[in-house]
Structure 1
């Protein structure tokens, strides 16, 4: 069974983008300087942490705080890569067998996020978790996001990668009178989808930060994300059936 397309697919991918913002807010604000979805940030944190500190009297007149913690970004990066490999194996095997790989991938992501919530469940705030459990939460969330990225690449929804918005923002500006580049979509009616993609990430980050600010425990935020992804997965068969019936 093929994944949905058109407006149905756009709605699903926008929802998943919101989930990304929520998860990165939860990980960055409560688990240390680490992202679980936006791996570009982790690469930079790793580089900052491995770099020696620049002298205050450097030509630039600034100093760089070398020696930032690298364990959490390294765990997240490694787990993300493992998740990408796992997702690629699983989804391609399901596709070869003509099985519904798209909803299965979303359910796998939801299960991994539920596992992360369980691993971090405690009576105290996330920073007080033992280091091993904190890394387990980070790793499970990052594995889930690795699977997600494979899913997004396979479904190839334009401007909706669900985890990276730099390209979407560039495309967004190209589709306005300020950009006016017809090769990049100006005048093609792509503006609403691109606004939806960027807005969903911003909204997810705001929602995640708001929930954390209310005192909501990180495991509850992650569990909310897991339930959202699972609910989206259960909608997919109905949406696909409806699309096929229209043909």
Structure 2
């Protein structure tokens, strides 16, 4: 039994069509923490993954709160939505599992563009826009997969369900998701302190390439399915 199948069986004893994507979705959750850490700490108090936070920041900025930019929040929101639109429309009738690897690869390309912009000193918006577009794309493909409790970015509902529902396999999934996001944010903060924006983006790019390759290595049934239906 492969490691992915073992994790899928542990987290989804009830079965799910895309259960074997769980380890890869956890890596993407970690990536979300990394990216939000670098955007908040290095790009001017703005998020590129947590859009709930950006909406709140926008309100704060419009009220005149210091160190917050309404323009940065709007740009991040617009970039995220653009990526989500593309991810939702891309070959809409195809099996979501077959799109997982190529869409994550495109996200990696966007992170590479952001990294190049940072190296070239083109300014924060040249870095912010491709990062936000990439996170919108990530959220769209995760939404299409529909794996329970693995949103990779939004934790408010996950934490609510973790506290309100009975213990069980779903609680394990939710707990692991929260830990993965927090670990990514912690790692992102530490990396940023030591290497700056560029160092964090290199790590993000490496992780996205690894996820895309792992998904591509077992296309269709290999990564995207389980013996049980949703």
Fold match (TM-score > 0.5): yes
What is the alpha-carbon distance in structure 1 between the residues aligned to residue 224 and residue 68 of structure 2?
52
> Which deviations, in whole Å up to 9, do the C-alpha atoms of 1:79-106 show, x marking residues without a partner?
111111111222416x17x992111111
Tell me which residue corresponds to 1:13.
Answer: 25
What is the alpha-carbon distance in structure 2 between the residues aligned to residue 85 and residue 243 of structure 1?
24
Choose from 158, 161, 170 the match for 2:160.
170
Tell me which residue corresponds to 1:135.
Answer: 125
What is the alpha-carbon distance in structure 2 between the residues aligned to residue 243 and residue 99 of structure 1?
7
Is structure 2 residue 135 aligned with structure 1 residue 145?
Answer: yes
Tell me which residue corresponds to 2:85.
Answer: 85
Contact 2:42/2:196 (<8 A) preserved: no
**CA 1:160–1:101 in structure 2 vs 1: closer, same or farther (change >3 Å)?**
same
**CA 1:37–1:243 in structure 2 vs 1: closer, same or farther (change >3 Å)?**
closer
Is structure 2 residue 198 aligned with structure 1 residue 201?
Answer: no
What is the alpha-carbon distance in structure 1 between the residues aligned to residue 136 and residue 43 of structure 2?
18
Tell me which residue corresponds to 2:62.
Answer: 50
**CA 1:37–1:46 in structure 2 vs 1: closer, same or farther (change >3 Å)?**
same
Q: TM-score, normalised by structure 1?
A: 0.77
Structure richer in helix, relative to its length: 2
Q: How far off is 1:195 after superposition?
A: 1.0
**CA 1:22–1:50 in structure 2 vs 1: closer, same or farther (change >3 Å)?**
same
Gaps of 5+ in 1: 54-64, 123-128, 175-183
Is structure 2 residue 117 aligned with structure 1 residue 119?
Answer: yes
Q: How many residues align?
A: 211
**CA 1:67–1:33 in structure 2 vs 1: closer, same or farther (change >3 Å)?**
closer
Query: RMSD in angstroms over aligned alpha carbons?
Result: 2.5
What is the alpha-carbon distance in structure 2 between the residues aligned to residue 244 and residue 166 of structure 1?
26
Is structure 2 residue 226 aligned with structure 1 residue 212?
Answer: no
Q: How far off is 1:242 after superposition?
A: 4.0
| 3-state SS in 1 of match to 2:108 | helix
Moved over 6 A (4+): 243-246
What is the alpha-carbon distance in structure 1 between the residues aligned to residue 132 and residue 18 of structure 2?
27
Choose from 184, 206, 211 the match for 1:232.
211
Q: How far off is 1:159 after superposition?
A: 0.9
Contact 1:91/1:105 (<8 A) preserved: no
What is the alpha-carbon distance in structure 2 between the residues aligned to residue 246 and residue 161 of structure 1?
19
Alignment of 1:71-110 (within 5 A): 71-92=71-92, 95=94, 100-110=98-108
Q: How far off is 1:74 after superposition?
A: 1.2
Gaps of 5+ in 2: 1-15
Which is greater in Rg? 1
Q: TM-score, normalised by structure 2?
A: 0.83
Alignment of 1:50-69 (within 5 A): 50-51=62-63, 65=65, 68-69=68-69
